[in-house]
Each structure stands twice: as C-alpha cells, then as structure tokens.
Structure 1
C-alpha cells in the first residue's frame, strides 16, 4: 500500500518551478550607510574573513553595543580592604584565567565580574544530575577552556563595535560566523555589561537567566536539553572555525506606505500554494522561513521558552546573537536573517523537547558566503480574549506585520514563504484567520505560499478548500477584506469564518441595486418593484441574516394605484438594507440621504410618475448604490464624497427635496 498523501495544492517541485530550491534571487552584501559590514570583503569560504578596521571604534555610546573591553566599562571591587575601580575587562581576564573544574568554580568566576547574580540552580542540576561524570569532565577540561579562549579574542575579532539596529530604521548588519561565535562565547560567560535602560528595549544575550531557570519543574528537563544544544555548538566551532557570514536586516514600512487593503485588486488565486500536515519550516529548503517571533527577538530562548521560535534559535545558535543589537519590534517592523547554520537535531516540542544529536547542515552558500537559509522574524499579537483578534484594527495590524516580513526589494524570482500556524499557540490566534491573513500578505508581496499545519489535518483540508473557493471565483484582496469586515461585525464563532466567506460572497453576487427598481427588462412580466430573482449554487448552509421586520419585498405585481402609494417607501427602505452590510461606517452622504428616507408618504391624487423630477434619477441612485455598497473608504474619500454631493449634485439634491416636500403636502 502506498503512503497516504499529506499535502494539497501544488507539489514542491512545481513550487520550485522545476529549478530546485536554490534558484531564487538573493540580496547582496554591499557596505553602505544602511548596511554595516564588520569584516573585510570578499568572504571566500577558504578561511574566516578578516575583521574590518575603523579609525573610530564606537565601543561605548547609545548607537552601538557597549563592548565588554571598552575603557568606559569600569567595575568597582575591593582589594586588600580598599575600594578600587578597575577596567571590567581586566577583571574578566583575571577571573577566567583561574582553574575552573566544577560548576561551583564556574559560578564563582562569573560572580567576580557581575554583581548580584542569582544562584545557578539549573546549571548545578545539569552537571550533577543530567550529565554523566565523563561528560562533565569533558566540558570543564576541554570545551570550557576553548570557549574562554574564544571569548577573550573579542577585541581582536570585533575591534570597531557593533551598530544597534534600532526601531524605525531600515538597517542591515553583516558579521562573520567567527565573530558571532566570539560574541556567543562572551554571552555564555556573561561578560556583557548590564544597563537597565537598555535591557527594557534589547533582550540581551548573557546566559544568566538560562542558568538560573529552575522554578518551573515541568520545564527543567527541556532547559537542560537546550544547554546540550549550546554545548554541541561550542564543541564544533571551537574545533573548526566557521568561515561563512550572516546578515541581519531590520525592515520597516511606515503606516502611510502600507497597502490600502480595501482597494487591492490582486486575485488571491494568483498565489500558488502547497499545504502540508507534515514537515517543518526549518526543513523548507530555499524558502523564506517564518519565525513565529516574540516582539523581543528570541522570546524565551534563554529562559523557559521551548516552542517554535525558541527551538529554532537553539538549534541555530547564531540567531541568539541578534538579541544583542536588535531592538524590540514595533507594529510595522520585521527582521530578515540570512546565512545561519543549523548545528543540532531535536525531537519533541515544549516540555517534550529533546536534543537528539549533531546536525550537519548541507545548505549551500550564496555568492557572498552565506548559507542559503533565510528567516523572516515576525511577531504576532497575543490575544487574552480570542474574539478580539477579529476586530478590524487587529486584523490590520497582523496583515501589515506579515506584509512587512514578506515584502522585499527583489521583484522577480522571489522565494516562496514557508510558514504555518503563526501566533496560534500560546498567543491564542485563530488558525482560520491567520491562514487568510498570510495568504493576503503573500498575494500583495507577490510570493507563493508553503504552509505547514504541524499535524493539523483539519486545517490542511479546510484551508485548501477555502483557497480553491477564492481562486475559482477570482476573489480579490479587496473583496476578501470587505467580507472580513462583515465577519468582524457578526457574532459568529471563529470556526464559522470559512463558511461565512462563501455565503457572503454568493450573497454579494445576488444583491440587487436601486437602479434595478427603475429598469424594466424587455418582455418581463415582473412588476417594477420586484427584484431580479437569483439562486445560489453554494452548498454551504446559509448564514442567518437579520432583516428588519417591516421589510417585506413584494412578490406579486401590485395594482397601479398601490404602486404609486408605496413606490417611494419601498424604494428608500431598500437603501438602508444590504444582504451583506457594508464594512464601512455610514458616510456623510448616506446619512443625509437616510434623513430623507424617513419621510412618511401620503396618498395623493397625482401619480408618482408625474411628480418625478426631470433629472435622470436612476443615475443618481446608481451613484448612491456605489456609496452604500462600498466595502471600505478612507477619510479622504469620504471628504470627496461630501464635496461631490454638495457641489456636483446640488441641483439634483434640491429636486429630490422638493419632490418629497410635494409628497408631504
């Protein structure tokens, strides 16, 4: 028997367009005012590139990482009973030069150049209860001395400091893998100075919190497994120096430059998809792989966290260094990281996470010396009340965030997005909504979508079905955006979102407009008041639509006198009722017209036809139909509507007003 198919949509071969995973376009490494390169070009992969030298070191200011070896990094201590101030780097060198053969001595060494450290309870547990005696001895006699030696090379390998990738700036930073390993060795030894004002905005890389994370008993084992991954990384890079480079890019798009989602005519079916219940994002070769991030990059990787982002950072430890210089993300920012190497294999997730051995990364390098692994860091919103995510502002925030992460300068041959249930775990996101949000962002960014549902066969099936519906009916971003707005105003549960979209789409197709009441089809036996009948081919059970009790569409051909009495009331009542309510609040134009619609009609000896103004009123109603059914409208568009109403149609407005005044007499 053949294995059961676990994916829908196009095959990965088709997603690769038959050219394989390494054929997509790549960004370059070019030093500029927007791209800081801390090594000498080019990187040839034969040996680690040389560090870049600069006349200005930038070791201790507000725009750069405060380096441990800076002359401004001072440390107070007592010597022979006297208070003295020494260079902290000197204290670090002295403390790490002493023999360290046990976890107690390791903790004592770090306390010599750090104030008020917590007890390293987890680290004590790791070396006394988890590792075998020979494994502990190998660490203290072999691995740790190599880590210390690498860490103390910091002034040599990064002599010019590291620029901060601060908020609201599009900036990139490229480092060699050897430079990154040196920074991580210092993080392992907790040498980076702590400053409270900086710590609130930058997550930090010192491993102190990891060593002391002992309060959550259920996570004790998985934290030990994370330390195993870290030690495996150091064991490898201290034996053989890595020769590649890594680029970290902070991306932001101002709100004013974001797409106007309610106007985009891009068809969602133009985005090609592959949806699978098996596989993982980190194995999606050649694609832009999404990191389900925390706004503080890396999340709880150096604490109790052990889900998607933390696992990715722990098996690719070079990602952890980003916590040193990437400021907390705001709502219109994302990070792209190119070139990291994977070092560890794993099994499980959360409490069941386990290190399962060394991993040899076979990903090829690009022309600039980077592994062809690209990661998109986007943080979802955490919803304490899941229903809140269907508010218009929340949907807008999430789709903007995804779009920033998915967009790129390259316009041709861009890599597909490899993603999954973004923000749908501890952040309580709706899988149905997040699939659509990411599909919208992919379509706008002109990228294909590869979706891993993490063994959720239901969402694999349901997402593909709604994708086919959107594609077959050529639904645009604009149309879907309008329907999402309607769902926002409904009281339906989130699992009804997909059926709601189908029903709302068909309802929008059969919605009559006012002009139909003024146009009688040739050879039609239907009365002027009867809407054109339509039928839906949808197999979806119709959603309940609340209708006003007084609205009863005519189903028979009334007598002429009855028509004259009820025409205006029937006509205007149809203005205020949409089968699919508008996703835009009532515009000033419609508010003014609604006031007119509340006039009560009286019987008159004159016929309605005789009283109709000379103006082509059906054209006016066509205009009003367009405004009433508009899915979205910006403030500027509303102002234009008011001006247009007041000036361009003043004569028509006066005639309509006179007309109703005449009826009331």
Structure 2
C-alpha cells in the first residue's frame, strides 16, 4: 500500500516513507517561519490593505498577518516568563542548565512520593503487583521487576509484545486484544518494515522506558483541579515517560470507573489505542512510532536525543473571580482581526497563542478512535500526550497552556482521511529556557444536543469564562496574538458564528489580536469580517454585544416554534445587525451577573469515540443527558423543563427514570414556582426564573459535595443501539488492587 504522492506531497517512496522507521525520512521540510507572512501577503496580491474589495485570490479578510504580530518580528513577544523553580513550579531538571545545547539537561534529584498528589511511577518501590507462583499460589512482588523481566525477553511479533504487556497487566488477560497493533505490523507494513520495528525501534523504545529511574529522579506532581501550578520537563524525560505509556506500564491507569483513583484523569497507557480500529488509528500509530524513531537513542549513539524543555501550566480561576461581562467597555473594533479561510492554526499561527479545541479530559480520543483537531495536534506533537499523565480534567474556569512542544510529523486529511505524510523538521527557535517558542492552550467547549441551548445566558457566560481562562496572561509586556478557529463546533454542536464572537469578545477584553481560521469556510470568513467592520463603525463594546446576545436568547425563548426547532442554527448575525441598527443603549435590568455569583460547571463532553452519540430527534429530557457531571446533566435537563406547563409534569419527568439530575431540576422548578406565588409562571419570565433557581440550587448542591453520578438512561427504543454508555462505563472492568 503506497502513499498518494500528490496528496502527501512527500517524495519518499515505499513503506519507509509511511512509517518513518527507516534511517531517514525524506519528508519536505517546512519553510522558514518568516515565510508565513510572505505567503499570506502574496495571497493578498501584496496589497496588505483593509480597504477596497479583496481580490478573488485573497484568502483572508481584515488586517494583514503582520498586524496580528503587532508589526514586530516573529517570536519577539513572550508567552511565558523564564523557568524559575518555586512551590508552584516544579522543575524536573537541574536549574540553571549548565550543559551545552547539544546535551540534555540533567534530571533534578528529589524524594520520591507515592501518594494521591503525585504520579505513581511504575519504577517506585511501592509499586507492587500479584505474581503467580509455580505451585499455583500468588505473591506480591515488585511491578518494575516484572516489567523488566517481560520486556527484556526476545519479542519478535505483535502477539509476543501483547503477551509481554499483559504479563504485568494480568487483570486484562482475555480482555485486551491489540487488533490495531497486529494489523499495522502484520498487514499494513511490509516484511522489511516489520523487521525494522522488532529488531531496531522496539528495543530502543524498551531501553528508553527502562531508564525511567535514571531519567526521572524526583516525584512528578499532578496538576489537579482548582490549582494554579506548573511543571517543566526535559524533552528526554517526556520521551521516557511516553515510552512507558507505549508499553502500558503505569499502575492504576487502566480503569476509569467512577470511584477509581484516576477517574477524573485522562487515560495514558496506550492499550485502548491498540484495541481500536480504523484507518486513522493506524495513521496515528505511524505518527507515534515516527516520534520514537526520532527521539530514542540507539544502543551506541545518543546524538538524536532532544535537548530542549517543555512547560505545562494549569491556570485555574475561582468562579467568583470571573469577568463580569456586562461591565466590560472595551471596543470590539479595536481588536486587530485577521480571518482566513485557508491554512491551519499550527502552520499559519506560528508565534501566536495557538488554541487546542480540547476535551476536558486532555487529548480527547487521541488514544482511541478520535481524529479531529485536538487528536491530530497530539499525534503530530506527541510531547503533548504526556499532559494526560498528570493533568486532571479541566473545570469550567480552567485551561492548560503548553510551551515548547515540538512538532515531528506532517499530515494530510482530517478525521477518517487523516494520513501521516512524513517527517517534519521544527525550525521554531528556542527561548532562554530551551523551550520551542510554540505556545498551545487547551480549552474545552460545551457539547449541545440541540443548537438553541448554547445561547443560554449562563452557558454563553461559561464559554466566555473558559476562553478568558485560556487567553489571559501574566506578562508585563504586550502578549502575542491568538490563533484560533471554530472552537467547539462540528460534533459538539456549537454555532461558529457565536463562538467566533465570544473569542473576539475575550480578545477585546485582554487586548490581544486575533487570527481566526475558518478551515475552508469562505462564508463564515466573510460574515465574521462584516460583523467586525460593523462593530468598528458602530463603536460596539463587549458590554453591548453581551446585551444583544441576551436579547437573542430571550427572542428564542419567546418564539413558540423555537423549542422544537432543530438545526440549522438560527442566524445570530442577522439578529445582531438589526439590534445594532436600533442603537439602543444596553439594558442592565435582569442581565447583570452578581459579582459573587458562581459559574455553573456545565461540563464538556468527550470526543465521539469516548461517548456514544444521541439521536437529536429524541427530544425527551433523558436524551439531553450527555455529560458525566451531575451539574451539567441538570442544566441540560432544565432545557427540557422550560416548556413544561406545570410542576406536576416536571415531577413526572423526574419520576420517569431521568435520574438525580432530573430530580434536582424538578426541585428547582418547584422553588421557582413557589417564589412566584404558586401556579404556572408566564412562559418567558418563568423560564428565566426556573433557570436562575436551578443554577443557585446546583451551586449549593455541588459545594456541599452532594453531587453524584447518575445512571445512564437507556435509549434502545430511540436508537436501536442499546444503552448509552459513558466514558467510564466503556472501560474494561477491574484493575488489580495491589499495584
């Protein structure tokens, strides 16, 4: 099976070009990053002008890309200060670095910790596992010794590799079947490439993995929820940690049951990727194997070992400290906007803060079937994968920023057409702390079963606060611009018109230029540019747009047909144009959030391969329950209660098997009606009252630690596919208790 050379644009023939396991891959090197500006100027026929009609060849609108860089050379503006160890910044290498740039920084030596605040490394002395004796009994022994014994045996086939991994994951014998790995090594690659893997690459991966006690010599903290904390690792340390993930050595990370220790963390062992199926899974494996070929030293030569560093910063904002959007008076038209229908964030967003359209569990379905924006970024820049080891799932006002991740692979296609297309030489310069000056921020969007729900005031506020958490900075100098696109759209059901405006509002608030890539959507490019021009001409502020968005939500609630109106989404931009023509001052009645009001954490959904999709044609309350989080369930349940004419019918919904979320939502309706003096509230006012009461009740419910996971409803009658399972229920049952 050969690559389509025209599609891949790679001049390397045969299987060596496909897998990257030969001595050198002849993929095209990217142009110097300075050429990005030149290319975009050429697309604009050299005009670089905001005025006058664009030429047919021009792919962008707004200001030229130079303005997004504030007219400065690329990489002159910093994303983050220099590495400095502190109680909130764990530096895993000796600081300052005294080695030459050709040598990896030496690891920091510290006390190893085996507790719930640190990564449980497989090489720790406390890492134990039951071992079968010859007489049929079992003893508890060192897990690391078992791993070493299994991996140091000759491994000449994918079946032997699977058996070796299962020997220290005995709970999953008969449950794990590495079909994707078998298919890649036995069917996809030719005999010579398979031989290269087992005789050269796999031994290199194993040697690197077993050096874990020497390369990581201090405890690695977990980046937990509600904390602002930072970790800096060397690229060598990251490669060693990922080699262990490749070999599935991490204890207690194979089950994600609700009460398991790591149920709120992403998966890290690669077993689920090996068990997945589909062409994109094989291509992701090729990306990962190519990465290991690039970074794993040979038995006699370590010159290819990367010598840089990568910083992971978790930013957490207290809900009562979030922005009051009704008070932001920054003009939207002051944001330099470059909106482009061509290019990608990672290619054209060099030097900018690049947005990862993340899952709240970092990486989403990268170790499964998923292969969209986040998953692709994680496999072409595999150092991002290590964030899954120590980053707890993101809360509504949290984000993860990564500075220094290197890109190793080129690719073509998207989702089912994704294809690894050769080696990528990352020419991005390093900063004074040896980090590539590539900044990526992971922010997770909400998923909506029905388009109308995303215009709710509190859900719009949640998305604004999430983007604000990701885009904010602590620099005294001007920050770089933001490179983003249709965040949370596509499978998550977001309206790109709305999401583009929300990100524009955040950039206006933080005074950051915005480069927006529409991924081929020419209509959205032109519409967003027209809205920006309208904001400039009208002097529209963030506060004014916020107020118009609330009016749009109210108009949908009072529209008799809107409660059952399916996709496509209503045209928000047409509504905004009409409202701005009226030039009415923003109303503050009933729309100003209280400064101390806590934001409800309507949580993000996993990628489709982690959660079963629901049929949008089923408009029952249970069909709206898409999240593992109780408070998100209740918010979506509230959408179905808006049109409920009486408390009795609401309680009937709760009693129909919708679970704890329905009970909470129904109770909120009772509170709202009681506050109104009994009876059925007016349609629009009652809906708003029910919503606010629900939010207040859920805040109290969560703060008291009473939120519990509800059982997944069965939709077999609606979809014919049996019960819908959550991410955790889809995992194999069981993990050895002695690990």
Fold-level similarity (TM above 0.5): yes
Partner residue, 2:334 = 270
Shift of 1:49: 0.3
Residues 1:419 and 2:484 aligned together: yes
Counterpart Cα distance in 2 of 1:26 and 1:208:
35
Q: Is the 8 A contact 1:332 1:400 kept in 2?
A: yes
For the pair shown, which has the larger CA radius of gyration, 1 or 2?
1
Q: Which residue of structure 1 lines up, in the alignment, with residue 68 of structure 2?
A: 15
Residue 200 of structure 1 is matched in structure 2 by 263
**Partner in structure 2 of residue 45 of structure 1:** 101
Superposed, 1:184-199 pairs within 5 Å as 184-194=242-252, 196=255, 197-199=260-262
Q: 1:33 aligns with which of 64, 87, 99?
A: 87
Query: Can you list the C-alpha shifts for 1:308-364, whole angstroms capped at 9, x where unaligned?
Result: 000000000000000000000011100100000000000000000000001100000
| Residue matched to 2:320 | 256
Equivalent residues in 2 for 1:487-566, closer than 5 Å: 487-491=552-556, 494-509=569-584
Matches within 5 A, 1:576-655: none
> Counterparts of 1:183 and 1:308 in 2: how far apart (Å)?
24
Query: Secondary structure, in 3 states, of the residue corresponding to 1:378?
Result: strand
1:170-569 matches, within 5 Å, as 170-194=228-252, 196=255, 197-214=260-277, 220-239=278-297, 240-283=304-347, 284-491=349-556, 494-509=569-584
Structure of greater relative contact order (alpha carbons < 8 Å, 6+ residues apart)? 2
For 1:402 and 1:510, locate their aligned partners in 2 and report how far apart those are by CA, in whole Å: 26
Paired position in structure 2 for 1:79 = 133
Q: 1:618-646, CA deviations, whole angstroms, 9 ceiling, x for partnerless residues? A: xxxxxxxxxxxxxxxx99xxxxxxxxxxx
Q: Are residue 108 (structure 1) and residue 172 (structure 2) matched?
A: no
- 1:129 aligns to 2:187 (yes or no): yes
Counterpart CA distance in 2 for 1:203 and 1:17 is: 37
CA distance in 2, matches of 1:389, 1:448: 25
Whole-angstrom CA distance in 1 between matches of 2:486 and 2:76: 27
CA contact (8 A) 1:267 1:475 kept: yes
Q: What is the distance in 2 between the residues matched to 1:80 and 1:432?
A: 66
Q: Where in structure 1 do 4 or more consecutive aligned residues deviate above 4 Å?
A: none
Distance in structure 1 (CA, Å) of the matches to 2:79 and 2:548: 36
Distance 1:347 1:116 in 2: 38
Whether the 8 Å CA contact 2:547–2:586 is kept in 1: the answer is: no
Secondary structure, aligned partner of 2:416? helix
Contact preservation (8 Å) 1:306, 1:353: yes
CA contact (8 A) 2:79 2:353 kept: no
- Corresponding residue of 2:77: 24
What is the distance in 1 between the residues matched to 2:468 and 2:585?
Answer: 33
Structure 1 residue 387 displacement after superposition: 0.8
Question: Using the alignment, how far apart are the partners of 2:452 and 2:426 within structure 1?
Answer: 42
Shift of 1:510: 9.3
Cα RMSD for the two superposed structures: 1.9
Assess if the C-alpha contact under 8 Å between 2:333 and 2:540 holds in 1: yes
Q: For each residue in 1:537-588, what CA deviation from the matched residue of structure 2 results, as whole angstroms up to 9, or x when unmatched?
A: xxxxxxxxxxxxxxxxxxxxxxxxxxxxxxxxxxxxxxxxxxxxxxxxxxxx
Alignment CA distance shift 1:393-1:143 (3 Å) = same
TM-score norm. by structure 1 comes to 0.75
Aligned match of 2:143: 88
Q: Is the 8 A contact 1:433 1:497 kept in 2?
A: yes
Give the aligned partner of residue 144 of structure 1.
202
> How much does 1:70 deviate?
1.1
Which segments of 5 or more consecutive residues in structure 2 lack a partner in the other structure? 1-42, 46-55, 298-303, 557-561, 563-567, 588-691, 694-739
Partners of 1:495 and 1:469 in 2: CA distance: 20
Query: Aligned equivalents of 1:367 and 1:437: distance in 2?
Result: 34
The alpha-carbon deviation at position 80 of structure 1 amounts to 1.4
1:657 alignment counterpart? none
| SS of equivalent residue, structure 1 residue 198 | coil
CA contact (8 A) 2:358 2:442 kept: yes
Residue 411 of structure 1: how far off its partner (Å): 4.0
Determine the C-alpha separation between the residues in 2 that align with 1:187 and 1:345.
23
Aligned to 1:174, the other structure's residue is in SS state strand
Q: Distance in 2 between matches of 1:511 and 1:252?
A: 31
Aligned partners of 1:18, 1:437: CA distance in 2, in Å? 25
Contact 1:432/1:494 (<8 A) preserved: no
Separation in 2, partners of 1:131, 1:462:
46
Is 1:162 equivalent to 2:237 in the alignment?
no
Secondary structure of 2:571's aligned partner = helix
Using the TM superposition, give the Cα deviation of residue 506 of structure 1 relative to its aligned residue in structure 2, in angstroms: 2.1
CA-to-aligned-CA distance 1:121-173 (integer Å, 9 cap, x gap): 11111111111111110000000000000000101111212100000000000
**Does the 8 Å CA contact 1:432/1:495 hold for their aligned counterparts?**
no
- 2:326 and 2:377 map into 1 onto residues whose CA distance is 35
Identify the range of structure 1 (262-271 vs 196-205) with the bigger mean alpha-carbon deviation: 196-205
Deviations 1:268-321 (A, max 9, x none): 111111000001001111000000000000000000000000000000000000
Which deviates the most, 256-265 or 419-428? 256-265
Q: Which residue of 2 aligns with 1:616?
A: none
2:117 alignment partner, one of 54, 57, 63: 63
